Amino acid sequence: MADRRAEAVRALSRRLGHEFREPALLELALTHASVGEGAERDARGRPFADNQRLEFLGDRVLGLLTADRLMRDFPEADEGDMSARLHALVDKAACARAAETLGVGEALRLSPGEAKQGGRRREGVLGDAMEALLAAVWLDGGYDAARTVFEKAWAEELAAPPRKALSNPKSALQEWALGQGKALPTYRIVDRKGSDHAPTFSVEVTVAGYPPLTAQGRSRQDAEKAAAIGLLQREGVI
């Protein structure tokens, strides 16, 4: 298993197109928090550090890279349109798809329990790792190196037809639900993880008669907006 993961890490490095001057940054970006919660230790007998701090930085790096790209691609777009486009490109689902493009899952360091539960394919795990990878490349090689990885990993997302812009997705979902003769959508927090300075909220939105949908965000409000957008997209409204 160790040899298989080592080869997956080497393959990921090739796909990233970035040779790390500090390989420890790459290893840290690929280390899930579950590793530190288990019995696995590093060469000095200490619990492995995990990628949560890099994820915190990577979230901001991704936002900057995406905003920069959108400014260049849509010179006539207003702030509301740009914000909606940005949100669609930086949400957890988009990050997870980017991670799948690079083959991040097989390169992750997970606890045995997390691996058995499908962590290598889990959207939240993949999305967090992708953000951590962007931060690791940023720290190791700077803005241009991070932008190169972003352009490669997000190529399909950036090439896809732009989604309809929504300045207020929760209001849009409410109007749609009422138009279907349904009660107002309801939201509930189903999970909160991460440290106090960098939490991630998972929120489930429900409209009567339709399957619920769960999305993540850095705040409850962001998660609710992401869930509203996700449900509207799933039902073909936007």
Q: What percent of the chain has pLDDT over 90?
A: 58
46 band by pLDDT with thresholds 50, 70 and 90? low
Number of H helices, E strands in the chain: 12, 3
User: Tell me: the pLDDT tens digits for 52-109?
Assistant: 999 999 999 999 999 999 999 999 888 777 877 888 898 888 899 999 999 999 999 9
- Between 167 and 1, residue with greater pLDDT: 167
For residue 31, is it left (φ>0), alpha (ψ between -120 and 50) or beta?
beta
Token digits of residue 168: 């207020």
pLDDT at 230: 87
List the domain boundaries for the chain: 2-159, 169-234
Per the CB < 8 A criterion, the answer to whether 225 and 174 are in contact is: no
Fold for the domain defined by 2-159: Ribonuclease iii, N-terminal Endonuclease Domain; Chain A (1.10.1520)
Q: Which of 33-47, 137-151, 158-172, 209-223 has the lowest mean pLDDT?
A: 33-47
Judged against a pLDDT cut of 50, whether residue 39 lies above it is answered with: no
Name all contacts of 142-146 with Cβ < 8 Å and 24+ positions apart: 145/18, 146/61, 146/65
Token digits of residue 228: 């509203």
Which residues, 6+ apart, have CB-to-CB distance to 108 below 8 Å?
A: 30, 31, 32, 119, 120, 125, 129
d(CA 84, CA 207): 22
Judged against a pLDDT cut of 90, whether residue 226 lies above it is answered with: no
Catalytic sites, residue numbers: 59, 131
Q: What percent of the chain has pLDDT over 70?
A: 91
pLDDT at 45: 56
- Between 165 and 97, residue with greater pLDDT: 97
d(CA 139, CA 116): 32
Q: Over the chain, what is the mean pLDDT? A: 88
Class of domain 169-234: alpha beta
pLDDT at 167: 66
pLDDT at 43: 53
Judged against a pLDDT cut of 50, whether residue 145 lies above it is answered with: yes
Judged against a pLDDT cut of 50, whether residue 190 lies above it is answered with: yes
DSSP character string of 7-49: HHHHHHHHHHT---SSHHHHHHHTB-HHHHHSS-B-TTSPBPP
pLDDT (average), residues 165-169: 70
Judged against a pLDDT cut of 70, whether residue 174 lies above it is answered with: yes
pLDDT (average), residues 108-119: 88
Residues facing 193 on adjacent strands: 200
d(CA 31, CA 25): 10
From residue 121, how far is each of 55, 97, 110, 225 by CA, in Å?
18, 10, 12, 24
d(CA 41, CA 47): 5
Which residues, 6+ apart, have CB-to-CB distance to 30 below 8 Å?
A: 9, 12, 51, 104, 107, 108, 109, 129, 132, 133
